[in-house]
Amino acid sequence: MRKLVALVAGLIFGLGLVVSDMINPARVLGFLDLFGGAWDPTLAFVMIGAVLVMAIAWLLAGARRQPVFGGDLPGPASSLIDARLIGGAAVFGFGWGLVGLCPGPALAGLLVGGFSVWVFIAAMIAGMGALNITNTKGST
């Protein structure tokens, strides 16, 4: 049941990205163009809406002793800020600003986003594979 709920949540998230046009790299790059005269505030409204919905969800979840669909509630996230976290955030932000895509919208736009989205997804998979190879070599 948990996997079904996760699938439905992911589909709703993807639908929201498509409806809000956040699968359009030009829309995201327009948001990042603060001083170029073509600033598009749409992404800010999408983020505000997402934060409000999640704030309500966390308040409701915090009042529960156990999850609705079983399992354990996650513990607090790590508060450690290290070079790996900063480096990963910088690479993610650089890539997002360079092409206007991040993994969620790219996956949501696979069928309608065109060739550039497929190239992005292929590069993302290659990057995850390279990380997996380096992590595997380091642990043996």
**Can you give the pLDDT at residue 26?**
86
Q: Is 90 exceeded by the pLDDT of residue 55?
A: yes
> How would residue 21 be classed by pLDDT, with cut points 50, 70 and 90?
confident
The predicted structure's pLDDT at residue 95: 82
pLDDT exceeds 70 at position 37: yes
| Mean pLDDT in residue range 44-48 | 89
Quick: pLDDT tens for 69-107.
777 777 777 888 999 889 988 988 888 888 888 888 888
Whether 109 contacts 17, CB under 8 Å: yes
112 pLDDT tier (thresholds 50, 70, 90): confident
